[in-house]
Structures are given as structure tokens and as C-alpha cells.
Chain A
Amino acid sequence: SQELEQSPQSLIVQEGKNLTINCTSSKTLYGLYWYKQKYGEGLIFLMMLQKGGEEKSHEKITAKLDEKKQQSSLHITASQPSHAGIYLCGAEVRSGSEKLVFGKGTKLTVNP
């Protein structure tokens, strides 16, 4: 079965710093989703990537999928306390699958 490895497990940064979170798969990623989760809340959809080399940005967050479609990165520029939370990557189990497999998440703390 497909497994997603996220790194780092946790990250503490000072406000204003840039940071990167990685998501690596043991198999080809047919669809890669990034979500953010805060305690007591559901997952908030950030971005979805499908094509090798694809890159998407929203405000200060940029997500990339490598050409081989086995690794994705999430980059936050000039982090703010509002960026704090748990970032989860999820992927389609197989091409066209409706089920998502998730990594364990990366806990981000941004100190003011």
C-alpha cells in the first residue's frame, strides 16, 4: 500500500522566516493534496497537484510536485502566527481513486 512520509514531524520558526515541509511517497503520486488542520477543526484544503513539475501558489504558500511525482514540498514565505497548525499531505491511492492516504502531518509553530 502507498505510504506518505512527511518531514519534519514538527517545526518551530520565528515569525517572518521561510520554511519548507516535505512529503515523500513510496509510489507514484497521482494526485497530491495539501491540507491544514487546527486543533478541534477539520482539514482545510490548501492545494492539489497532479502533474509532474506542477507548482501552485496561494498567498504566501507554494506547493510543488517533482517531475517524478514522488515528492511534494510546501513552502511558506514570511511565516505568520496564523500559519501555525498541522500540515497534512494526502494522495490518491491509485490513479482515479476516490480514497486518500495521508501522511502523519507536520506540526508548525510560529513564534511572534
Chain B
Amino acid sequence: GAGVSQTPSNKVTEKGKYVELRCDPISGHTALYWYRQSLGQGPEFLIYFQGTGAADDSGLPNDRFFAVRPEGSVSTLKIQRTERGDSAVYLCASSPRARATDTQYFGPGTRLTVL
């Protein structure tokens, strides 16, 4: 079956611009996660959704970052007034339920470059 998909695969933007990154989870998965991975680092947790609600957004670095999942399926990560330090690979993952024993399945990521 189809895995987690993310679009676009690459995004180049200028400092100060607004960007949206999209994640399509595995069908039927109720839990969705966003991580950010900088060069040479492991993924860093940003936010996770259980259904439509953000159950934990403690990893969002500041109020320029926001994510939504209005219908409990597709999610969009939104970044306002982008900064060069936002450049990273943004990874999305989904799991059947938000339980610690449920494996998180990752998408290929969106590589964001802020010039």
C-alpha cells in the first residue's frame, strides 16, 4: 500500500517568505507527527496530531511555526517569515494510533532551503 507522502520534495524560498509543507499519511492512521532534521543531526520532534487536534506541539520552535490537520488526514506545516536557520529536511510520520508501541512510518521529507 501507499506510504507516507510529502510535497514538495524540495522547496527553495527567500528569507521572510511564507511556506507550506504538506503531508499525506498512510490511510487510516490517526496519529501524525512532524519532525525537523538538520544536516548531520537526528530528527527533532515538532508536533503530533491525534486525529484533528494537536496533542503535543511542544517541539515547535516559535510562533512562526504552525501546523493543521483539519480533517484528520492530510496535514500542513506552515512557516511564516522564514529565516535561514529554518533550512532543514522536514519529515512527516504517521502511526495507526498515538501509542508508544505503534511504529512511526516516515515519509521522504521536504528539503527546505531558505536563501
A: which residues have CB within 8 A of B? 4, 30-31, 33, 35, 40-45, 48, 50, 88, 90, 92, 95-105
Contacts and interface: CB of A to CB of B under 8 A. Distances in A.
A17 to B, nearest CB: 25
The 6 closest A-B pairs by CB, nearest first: A102-B42, A42-B106, A43-B106, A42-B108, A98-B98, A99-B45
Given A31-B100, A42-B4, A98 B55 contact: yes
A102 B104 CA distance: 13
Interface of B: 3-4, 9, 31, 33, 40-45, 48, 55-56, 59, 91, 93, 98-101, 103-109
Nearest to B92: A42
A30 B56 CA distance: 19
B75 to A, nearest CB: 15
Given A31-B100, A35-B106, A42 B91 contact: yes
Given A31-B101, A50-B101, A97-B100, A90 B42 contact: yes
A2 to B, nearest CB: 11
Given A43-B43, A98-B55, 5 more contacts: A33-B104, A40-B108, A42-B4, A98-B31, A99-B59
A45 B103 contact: yes
A41 B6 CA distance: 11
A102 B108 contact: no
